[in-house]
Amino acid sequence: MTSQPPSPPSQPEQPAADVPTCYRHPDRETWVRCQRCDRPICPDCMRDAAVGFQCPECVAEGNRGIRQARSAFGGSVVRTPVVTYAILVINLLVFGAQYLTGERVTGEFAMWPAGVAVGDQYYRLITAAFLHGGVMHILFNSWALYAVGPYLERAFGHVRYTALYLLSALGGSVLGLWFDPLNQPTVGASGAVFGLFGAVFVVGRRLNIDVRGIGLVIVLNLVFTFLLSGISWTGHIGGLITGSLLAAALAHAPSRNRALWQVLAIAGAVVLLAVLVMVRVSAITGAV
């Protein structure tokens, strides 16, 4: 019988080292930790930082402490004046539709006091601002919009600028509803453009910029408004008043809770114009 060498003593089992897992994905092993909170994060949760990586929560927390850039009067920063360009394109497309359909589009969407009051066609108060009476008419309004629109859109931001443009157009139509003959149709973006002229003047004064140039433009256009025939003075004056007053409210809103004050100013303008429309419509329908 042969003798067997003694077996070596058994070694105790070594516990496996703890492998960290992502705090957001516990099934994923990782050796990377967030530089701010030191929690383990997997590749899907890594966000580049100045040094190393951070987790999504720490990145979001850091962004909340960064003050976002704003326009001169509280709107978002505008790099491309897309609203101005969109209005220009819409005006050109509608003018093309007017040309192709003759009087059909013009008759359906022009501002016409009797149509608004008797026919309950309130849309005419806005749609008329996208119609034009001829090539020179749309060329002038397009040039004016291209000249001053981007400046105001960058000053107020997309949303405030859109409100300024549309309410200026509406203000011109509302004055026409009050003082134009009931069967007189009017078209054109001139009310909105005059509102933008007034807004440029107001903004320039607010920022202590020389406003003599835009002041001269406004005066000359007002002279032409009353000297030349076939021009709606109500649209021009109504748009100028509305745009100037609304721009003043937006530009002079208190810095504290500025956005709230500006929303209230825009809402107040909408309510006031709506009341003026309802009062005038009631007067017209009561007299018919």
Catalytic residue among 132, 137, 158, 236: 236
Q: Answer for the pair 201, 215: CB distance below 8 angstroms, yes or no.
A: yes
Using CA atoms, how far apart are residues 218 and 199, in angstroms rounded to an integer?
11
Which among 152, 142, 147 is positioned nearest to 243, based on CA atoms?
152
Task: Give the helix ranges, DSSP H, for the chain.
Answer: 56-64, 82-101, 104-109, 113-117, 124-127, 135-156, 158-179, 190-206, 212-227, 233-251, 258-287
DSSP code, position 44:
G
Using CA atoms, how far apart are residues 278 and 288, in angstroms rounded to an integer?
15
The C-alpha angle 90, 166, 162, rounded to 5 degrees, equals 80
Which among 49, 53, 63, 3 is positioned nearest to 32, based on CA atoms?
53
Residue 176, SS3 per DSSP: helix
Q: Is 252 a catalytic residue?
A: no
How far does CA 119 lie from the centroid of its chain? 31
Q: Is 236 a catalytic residue?
A: yes
Using CA atoms, how far apart are residues 241 and 212, in angstroms rounded to an integer?
18
Using CA atoms, how far apart are residues 121 and 108, in angstroms rounded to an integer?
10
Q: Tell me the C-alpha to C-alpha distance, in Å, between residue 139 and each of 110, 153, 165, 212, 224.
A: 19, 21, 18, 24, 16
Catalytic residue among 168, 190, 232, 244: 190
Q: Which are the contacts of 64, defined by CB distance < 8 A and separation ≥ 6?
A: none
Q: Which sequence positions are flagged as catalytic?
A: 190, 236
